[in-house]
């Protein structure tokens, strides 16, 4: 949705910030992650979202590194709900757009 048509976006700053849901509270930041890791305990699971970035090492060679972005800790019942919701979203996407496959490096 374009900022001009989105009632949740501030118009004063060109539509690039999100209006508070409750006075004084803003929505969390948005980020992009191209990989993730999951750790778990008896009571909860933590999903750490990361991005693989390229850096120059001390010898001037490019190497890939994981840049941690955000971790989300959830109780198991919410992990199960998230799994169900994501499965449904992927199923609907594939019905509309065809089967998703893992990309292969050349």
The boundaries of the domain holding residue 58 are 27-97
In a domain, 46, yes or no: yes
Give a yes or no: residue 13 inside a domain: no
For 45-102, the three-class secondary structure string (H helix, E strand, C coil) is EEEEEEEEEEEECCCCCEEEEEEEEEEEEEEHHHHHHHHHHHHHHHHHHHHHHCCCCC
Q: What is the pLDDT of residues 32-52, one digit of tens each?
A: 899 999 999 999 999 999 999
Q: Is residue 49 part of a domain?
A: yes
Low-confidence stretches of the chain (pLDDT beneath 50): 1-3, 9, 13, 15-16
1, part of any domain? no
Structural domain count, the chain? 1
Q: Is residue 9 part of a domain?
A: no
Q: Which pLDDT belongs to residue 12?
A: 56
Q: Answer yes or no: is 19 within a domain.
A: no
């Amino acid at each position: 949705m374009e900022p001009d048509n989105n009632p949740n976006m501030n118009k004063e700053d060109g539509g690039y910030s999100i209006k508070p849901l409750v006075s004084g509270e803003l929505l969390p930041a948005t980020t992009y992650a191209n990989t993730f890791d999951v750790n778990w305990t008896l009571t909860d699971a933590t999903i750490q979202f990361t991005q693989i970035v390229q850096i120059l090492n001390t010898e001037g060679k490019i190497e890939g590194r994981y840049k941690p972005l955000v971790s989300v800790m959830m109780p198991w019942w919410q992990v199960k709900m998230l799994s169900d919701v994501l499965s449904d979203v992927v199923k609907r996407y594939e019905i509309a757009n065809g089967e998703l496959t893992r990309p292969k490096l050349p």
